[in-house]
Amino acid sequence: METVLSYGKYFIAGFIYDVLVVLYYYVINDKSISKAFIITMALTMFQYIFLQSILISGEFLGNLVAFAFGCSLATSVMVYLRKIGKIKF
């Protein structure tokens, strides 16, 4: 059960991380310096905290795959929402 919770934690973290990455690219495209600064700080801290956590975990490969799957799903969702006009940037 602990492994499933671990995978879920990394999946959700990957999803949130990639939503922030997509927002980062939209902010950069918009040329908003203050928003880019804030999102870059959040991304950097988030990324290194979870990278360290994945590296020291006992389930490295499983946690990495769960994180990557969350990232991939978030990208797909964000692109789809932009395509159908639910997100305006």
pLDDT digits (tens, 9 = 90+) for 64-83: 999 999 999 999 999 899 88
> CA–CA distance from 84 to each of 11, 70, 73, 78, 80 (Å)?
25, 21, 17, 10, 6
Kindly report, residue by residue over 12-60, the tens digit of the pLDDT.
999 999 999 988 888 888 888 898 899 999 999 988 998 898 889 888 8
